[in-house]
Amino acid sequence: MGIKDDAVEVRAQGWRTLAALHGLIEAELERSLQGQARLSVVEYTVLDALSRQDGWHMRMQQLARATALSASATTRLVNRLEDRGLLTRILCADDRRGIYTELTDSGSKLLAEARPVHDAALERTLAEAQQVPELAPLVDALPRLHAGV
């Protein structure tokens, strides 16, 4: 067992911690958002990403990257949200393959309701995770990543 093997083990451990915290947060967000806004976490992510976009447009592929989802999953996700009237598809004028999505008023409104739920759940879960010894160091490190913002 040398230095090299240690690095492998440290990475694996870091990844397990990351995955554990991610699972915990996602599960709690899912419960809260589903219960209080009828939104899944990815659905919230889409609305949030759209709202933080300058012109309020995004193309399907950008959305796929923002949600870490496959192209096909993104198509169906946008279908669901469109069926609920939360966003609309807009054909791209210059590139007719491209499809923009844009929040509707109804979508912005739902997002405005959901955001506090999301933020509260996040705060609550992080506080809870801080009580778990294996997770605490990562929880503490998170806010320092973007402290300047």
Partner DNA sequence: TATATTTTGTTGCACAAGCAAATATTGCAC
Partner DNA sequence: GTGCAATATTTGCTTGTGCAACAAAATATA
Residues that bind its own copies (CB under 8 A): 6-15, 17-27, 45, 68, 118-119, 122-123, 126, 137-138, 141-147, 149
C-beta of 48 vs 82, nearer to its own copies: 48
Residue 49's closest CA among 66, 72, 73, 33?
Answer: 66
CA geometry: angle at 54 spanning 50 and 57, to 5°? 45
CA atoms of 26 and 20, how far apart (whole Å)? 10
Q: Which two tokens stand for residue 88?
A: 């609309």
Q: Which one of DNA, its own copies, none interacts with residue 25, CB within 5 to 8 A by kind? A: its own copies
State the CB neighbour count (10 A cutoff) for residue 77.
20
CB 74 to its own copies: min, Å:
13
Partner that binds at residue 113, options its own copies, DNA, none, CB closer than 5 to 8 Å by kind: none
Q: Which is nearer to its own copies, 93 or 141 (CB)?
A: 141
Can you tell me the distance from the alpha carbon of 105 to that of 83, in angstroms, rounded to the nearest whole number?
Answer: 14
In this complex, which beta carbon is closest to its own copies, that of residue 99 or of residue 135? 135
